[in-house]
Structure 1
């Protein structure tokens, strides 16, 4: 990934879990909203999620952040 940014944050496990829960809910709502939007309606189901992420950078960032939080929480436990 060219020009990728690396962001570090210190969170307690409770804060990280709370942020992860909030991000998952926000991601779920955004995905549902875009899934049925005219722009993506005729994209095949198997390709639709990737197409949405390619056109909605905030959701792509959320997905990366959720993965990083999940990995970090597993490492702490």
Structure 2
């Protein structure tokens, strides 16, 4: 996937999940038409504990986001 498409997807992720700002995703191919981007960051919970937060984004080869999910 082209760097310009990855950076455009990153901007959308950063807008929705500001705590991921500056994190570079791991990019994995999902067949010929789709790509999976995985963002990870450690964030503080309300109780002060540190937790790992992951955002997974599935996008097509044109850079359109198909699915976005987060886990804590």
Q: TM-score normalised to the size of structure 2?
A: 0.31
Quick one: higher RCO (CA 8 Å, sep 6+), 1 or 2? 1
Between Structure 1 and Structure 2, which shows a larger proportion of strand residues? 2
Mark the structure with the bigger radius of gyration. 1
Between Structure 1 and Structure 2, which shows a larger proportion of helix residues? 1
Q: TM-score normalised to the size of structure 1?
A: 0.30
